[in-house]
Structure 1
Amino acid sequence: MITDTYTGCYPGSQWKAVWSPTESGYGVTEGGASGAPFLNQEHLIVGTLTGGASYCGASQNMSYDYFGKFDYHWASNGQSNIERLKPWLDPGNVGSYICQGYYPTSTFGMVQGQIYNDINQNCSIDDFEHGIGSYIVEIMPGNITISTNSYGIYSIDSLPEGTYYVTVDTTNQNLNPTCPVTQELIISNSQSVTYAPSFGFYSDQACSDPSISVYAPILRRCFDYQELYVVAHNQYAATSYLEEAYVILELDELISINSSNIPFVELGNSEYRFDIGNVGPGQTISIALLVEVSCDAVLSQTLCMSAKLLPIDECALDNSTNIPGGATGDIPECTLPWDHSSLNVDGWCENDSIYFLITNTGDFGDGDMQCVSPVRIFIDGVLTQVESIQLDGQETYMYAFEATGQTWRLEVDQHPLHPGNSYPNAVVELCGDIVNWVPGYIDSQYQDDADPVVDIFCGQIVGSYDPNDKSQSPTGVGELGFIGPNQMLEYRIRFQNTGNDTAFTVVVKDTLDSNLNLFTVVPGVASHDYEFSIENGRVLVWTFNDILLVDSITNEPESHGFLTFKVEQNPDLPYGTVINNDADIYFDFNDPVITNELVYTIYDFNPLLLSQSIFFANEEVSVFPNPADEVLNICFTKTDSDVKGLFKIVDLTGKEIYIEGFSTKSSDYTINIEGLDSGIYILITFMENTMYANRFVVK
C-alpha cells in the first residue's frame, strides 16, 4: 500500500493497494464495488474504493485499486462542508479522529476519550495533532483503569449513570499536561455514546522514549536453532526519533548465533551489533535469532544475555526510581553533587579463584569519586561482607576469593545522583567444588537493567519443562522469593497449544497485584504480534489475533508462544509484604489454562550488618561435625573468661530457624539440630559486639 494519485483526483489523496492473488490467481474487486471500505490492521476504515484495474479475471500485474484516504475525506474533500466527513461525524467539534463501531440499537453504550499531543498547548485537539498510545487513565469510583490504543483513544463499555472522575497518568517526565489531570465525567444515558474528557500533553524538549527487551524461551544444552528474541521500541509518548540507533547484544560464551533476521557485526567477546536506523515514536524493531547452546553447559546452569539500545538519550533516563541499595556499614551518606564517576563490575572464574573487577569508567580528574561507595558481597544469596571503595577516573580495583563452588555476587553503589538507575553487579557460579553448588542464585537478586535502554535475561539450562508457565526476574531468594523494596520486576509467560488443532486466537490475562504500580507497566518482547490493553481495573490483557498457533502434535517447535512485561513495585513497601501473581491463558473458546502462582516477599537482607562486622571462615568460632545430623558442636578459641553471647541459625533465605542466648566458661557448646531439614544453614554467633558466621550442612 502506497500513497498515489487517481485520475481526476487531488494529488496524493489516494491509497494504491496491490492485491495478492486469490487461489485462482486473479484480482479481488469488480465493477460496482466503488465506495467499499478499506480497513487497517485495527479493523478501522481508512479509505473508500475509488477505482482501479483489478477485476475477477484480471492477471496478477493488473491487481491493484485506488482508495480515497479517509483523512482527505475528513476535512479537504470537495468545495464545501457538505462534501466532507468532519461536519457530519464530528458536528460538536469534539476533536476525536477515531470512532469505534457500535450497534445503535444495542442496549449498551460506550464511553470514549482521547489523549493527544497538544502541540499548541490550548487543551483542545486540532486537525494537526495526533493521539498518544499506551497511556493509562483511571476512572473513579470503580477503580477502572484503561490504556489508550495506538491512536490515543481510550474506551470502555457503558458505565451506570452518575458522576465520575477521570485521572490521567503523569509519570512520563518528558510530557507536560495542558489540561487538568483529573476531569469530571457525567453519564446521563448509559445506553448511548458518551464522550469522556480528553487530555493534552506537550513536550518542551525533543526526547525519545526507548525500551528494549531480550528473552530466550527455552535454553537446552547441545541444541542448535533455539529461539532468541530482542525487541527495541520507541514508545508512543516519545517526542523525538531514536536517531541512527543500534543494539549491542552480549551473549554468554556458551551461546553462539546460527542466524538472524537482521544483519549484525561481530564485535568480539560474544558481543554483536545490530544497526536498526531511525526509530520513530510508536515504532518497534524486532530481532529474531536462532542460537546454539554448547554441550559444555551444565543442566540447571544459568546463562545470561544482555541487550543495550544505543545511543543513549540522557533525557530518557528516569532518575526518580529508587535503587535497591542495601547495607552500608559505617559508610556515610554521600550528599555531594554527581562527580561524573560511573562504576562497572566484571566477575569471572579462573583456576581455583573468583575475581571481581570494579572500574570507574569516568575520566581521570573530571570523573574521580568524591564519595566512598559501599561494596556488598553475597554467597548463595546471603550477605557476608560489606566493604567500601573510592576510585579515581579510569582506576580499577580487584577482589579475589577462593573458589568454593558456591555462587558469589559482588555489587557496588553508584553515586546517588548518577544519571538513570544503574546498579552495577556481577555474579559467578560453578567455580570450585561443584558439590557445593546450588543452582538458581544468579537470577535471585537484581540485575543491572533498571534503565529502559538495557535489559538482561538469565535463564537456566533445562531438560523437561511446563509448556504453560510463568516466571519472574529476579526470582527472589528461597521459596518465598525474598527481594528488597523499590525495584523493577519482570514477568515472563510461556504458552503452548497442546490441543489437536490450530489455535486462531490466544488471549493472556494477568491480574496485577495491588502492591505493584499499574502506571509503570511496560509490555516487552513477545513471540507474536499482539494487542495490549488493561481491563476491569488491574487486568493486563494480551490478545494474539490470527496467531494461527499450530498444535504440538502437528509441529511441536511452532506450537509455542510467550510474552514478557516489566512493572515497578509501589514505593517503599514494608518488609513482609507479599506479592502474588499468576496468569490465565485462553486458546480460542476453551477454558483458561492457569499458570503456576509466583510469590515475592519484601525482605530486609541486611539488618544485622548495619552496625556490626561479620567474619566468615573465622578462627574465633568453629563448628563440627560438618556435615552434621543430630548435634552441632561449637568451639571457642577464647577460654580464659566467661563467654556470653547469642546463637542464631538461619537458612539461605535469611529465615530465622533457631535463636538462643548462652553463657559458658567452657571452650565448646552443643546445639541440638535433630529438627532441621537437610540443607545448608548459617550459624551466626554474637559475641563482644562482633558477629561471626559459620556455614554448616545438615545431612
Structure 2
Amino acid sequence: MHNGDMTVCTNGKFLLYSDLGILKKSHEWWTHTAVILPSPDENGINYVTNSHGASMELWEFTDDLSFVGNKKSISYGDLFARMSNRIFKNTEYTDDGGTSWKKLPFPSNEYFQYFNVGHDGKLYYASNKSVYISDDSGLTFTRRDISIEYISYISSTKGDKFVLGAKNDGCIPDIYISTIQNPSLQKIDNEIGSYHAEKVFAGIDENISISECYYNFKNKNPIQDWQKIDFGNDLYDYIRQLLYLSNGEILALSDYNLFRSNNNGINWNKTNQIDYIYYDANISEKNGKLYVFGYDSVYFSNDFGNTWDGKFTGLNLFVNEVYSVQYSDKFDIYYYNGDNFASSAISKYNVNTLERKPINLGVNANNVQFISSYDGKILYILSYEQWPLKFTLNVSYDYGETFSTEQLNLPGDRVDYRLKVDHLGNLYIFTDKFVHMSSDDGQNWLDITPDFPELVSINDLNVSYDNYIYLATTGMGILKYKPQLAAPKGLKVIVYDDLNKNCLRDNGEPSVPIGKVGVNDLYVRELDDNGDASFRLHTIQNKVSLVINERLYETCQEFYDVTLDDDYTELSIPLKAKKYCAEVQASISAPFLRRCFDNTYYGQVCNNGNIEAEDVVAKVKLDPYFDLKETSVPIVSHIGDELVLDIKNLKAGECTSFSIKLNLSCDAALGQEHCMEIDATSGTRNCNEITSRVTYLDCQENVGSYDPNDKSIFVNGVKNKEYVEQEDKVEYLIRFQNTGNDTTFTVKIQDPISSKFDVTSIVPVAASHEYTWSVENGVLNVTFDHIMLVDSFKNEPLSHGFIKFEIALNRSTERNQDVSNLAGIFFDFNEPVITNEVITPVGKPVSTYDPDENPISLYPNPTNDIIHITSSNTSFKDAQIIIYNESGKIAMTTGLQVGSNRYIDVSGLPSGFYIIKIIGDKAAYKAKFVKM
C-alpha cells in the first residue's frame, strides 16, 4: 500500500498488516483468485478482483480495510495491472473503476502471454516473438519483434534496462536484458543451483530421481551429479512417472510405454506387454505386486514388471482422473466415479467379482482425497467441509464397507492437502507449508515440517525403501529427514513398588501410579491408575527415564536403554520406597483480573505422596481488594483475609480442582498488582513438615482491555517478570476465549517446547476446565474435550478458559540466552489462534529496568493521551520507542527527537497496562505506565 502497509488475500480472508508484520484488520470473504490493485496515492481508490465460480467482480476497499464492497461485475480476466487510476485487464482498460471498458489498439488475431507496467512507467505486452510498448498509458503502442518464444515475464528498470524472461525446458526461465546503448537482447547467466524440485522419487542409498518442471526428470546418486534421464532413440522420451521398486529396480512410464532400469536409471529397457497405458496412469506397488490401469483393463505383475497379466474391467477411467486410482490386495479398484456432485463420488470395483459399489461419505467428490495403504488392506479418505472448514480422516479396515472417523485440526484455511503412505505403515498429510506424519492411522500426528529460512514451499514427499523421508522443495531442492524410520513399535512402561528392594519384580509387588515417564527427552506421559504409560515409537534405540518424587522413592538406575526389536515391548521399572506418607500441594491462578467485576480463581490440590491423604484443607490468603462471593467446595472458615476450604480425602497421586469467585474492588488502581497465596495440609502423616513447605503465590496486575488468546510468564509467582534465573520456578499461563458465534466443543493447545527447557519437568498447576495432556516429539498437547465453551455473545464470563503449567530450565541453558514460548489454540475445527511469543532473558540483562539506576521518568502516569518522557542520559538522542501491551505484544512504535523533555501521543491505545522500551545508541531502558 502507499503508506507501507501490506494487504494479503487468501481464499477465505482479506488481511491488512502493518509494515512490522502486525495484523491490523481481517475481513471475511471467499474467492478462488484475487489480484490486489492498490492506489499509488493517499486519496485514490483501492481495488481488488474477486473470482469465484464462473463470475468475476471488481471490489473497492479502504486503506484501513474498514470498508470492502461496492463491487462491480466484470468479464473474466487472468491478467491485471494498474497505472495511476487506469486498470488494465488482458487487452482492455477502464478509467471508472470497472463500469465501462475500452479495447486497446491491438490486432484482433494477436494473443498475449503476459503484460506488465514497467518501473519506467511504460506498459509492456508480450506475444509470441513480439513485444508491444506504450508510453502513453495504452493509447498507442510500438511493436518490437524478437526471436524469443514463450515469454513469461517482461518489465524495465527506472534506468534504461529492458528485462525479459522466457520459459525453457527447465524451471528457471532464461533471462535477457537490453539497454539503450546495447539494444539487442543479451542472455545473462542465471544459474543459481538446483533450488527447485517438483517431485521426488526415492531409492536406497540416496539414489533418487526428481522432476524439476512437470516431466523433466533427472537422476542423482552419491557418486554422480545430476543427469537428465534419457531413453535413447525410443519412440517416446517424455517421462510421466517413475516408481522405485522394493527390489531396487525402477519403472518409468513414458507416454504409452513402460521402461525398466536395474542400474539406477543409467540404462533402460522397454518392458510393457500391455496394449495401452494411459500416460497419467497410476503405477502402484502393493507388497511386491504391481498394478496399473490400462484403457479398460487392470494389469498386474508378480515379478516386478517382467511379465504382466490383465483383466478386463469395462471401466473407462480416462475422464475420471485415472492418476488417482488406488488398489487393494483383494483386487479392488478405488476411483472417482465421475459425478463430482454426488455424496458417493468414490466407487469401488472388484475385478474378480465384477461388482461395482459406491462409497458414501456424505460429501462431494471435489471435497475428498483417498489413498490405500502399502499392503492394500486399509483405505484412507480425507474429506472436508466448508463454513466452517472441517477436516475428517475416514479409515476403513474392511475395504470401504465401514469407516472410523477422526476429526483433524489442520493448520491454516487451506484445502489442498495431500495424502501419502509408505511401506512401513505410516500415513502423511502435507501441503506446501507443513508435513505431518501418523503411525497409528491418524490417531496421533507428528509434525516433521523442516524449518529453514530458505524454504519456500514443499512440493512432494516420498519414502525410500531404506526408510528415509525425502522432500522435493522450492528454495532448498531435495531435503532428507535425518532420522531413519522404522515401523512404529509399542512400548509399555510399568512402574512398581519394589518391596524387598532387590530391583526385580516379585509376586505381589503393587504398581505405583505416581510420576511421569519420559522417552528420548521428547515424549512424556503421566502414569495411569495402573502405574502404566504407553508409547508408539519409530526409533529402535530409546532412552527411558522416570520423573518421581525423590523424597519418597529412589530408582535402581537413572535411565534405561530399551531396544525395540519386537512390535510390542514391556519394560518394568522398580521403585524403592524411602518412606510412606502423604504430600499435599496446592496451586491457584486466574485468567485475568478486572476491576469492578466478579473474577474467578481456579485452584488445584494434589496428593503427591504414596498413601491416602485424609481431612485435606486448603488455606488461601486473599488480596485485600478482593470480596469473596462463592466457592465450589465447602468453607471451613473465613476470618479476615484467610479462607480455609474443605478438600476432604485424596488418594495417592490424586488431584482435585475447585474455584473461588471474587469481586475486585473499584478502589483498586488500573494496573495494580494483586496476589493470592495458597497452601494445603492433611490430617495424615505428612512427608513435608509445616516449616519446610513453600506456599504457592500468584501475582498479576488487573487489566482494562486485553487479548483473550495469549500467553504470559510467571517467575516465582510474579507475572511478566523481565528475566529468569536458572533456579527460578517458571510457569506459563495460556488464556483462550470463544469469540465465535456458537459453542465450542473441544479446545486443543499445541505448545512447542524449546530445547532450553526440560520437557520432563512439565507440571500443570491450574486450569479452568478438565483436560488431558502429554508431550509428543517435544510439543506439549493439552486437550479440553467436551468443554462446551459458550461464545462471548451468549455469556461473556463463561466464554473464557486457561491452563497454567510449571516447567524448569535445562541445566545446560546458560545465562545471557533468551528462552521463548508461544502456542497454537484450536477451537473445534477452526484454524489455530497463535498466541504472542513470550521471550525472556536468562539472567538479569544489562539494560533491564532498575528503579535505582533508570534515568527515565514518565508523567503523567496514568495518562489519558500525552505522556512526557524525561531522561538524564544524553545517549537518547533520536531514540527508538517500542510500547508493549500487557500480553507482551508490540502495540506501538515511534521515535524521539533530540531534546531533554519529549512526549508521545498514546491516545490511540486501549486502556490498560503498558511497558515502554526506549532504545538509544548505547543503552536501553524500560518503564511502566497505565493508559486510562
Q: TM-score, normalised by structure 1?
A: 0.50
Q: TM-score, normalised by structure 2?
A: 0.38
Instruction: Give 1 or 2 for the bigger CA radius of gyration.
Output: 2
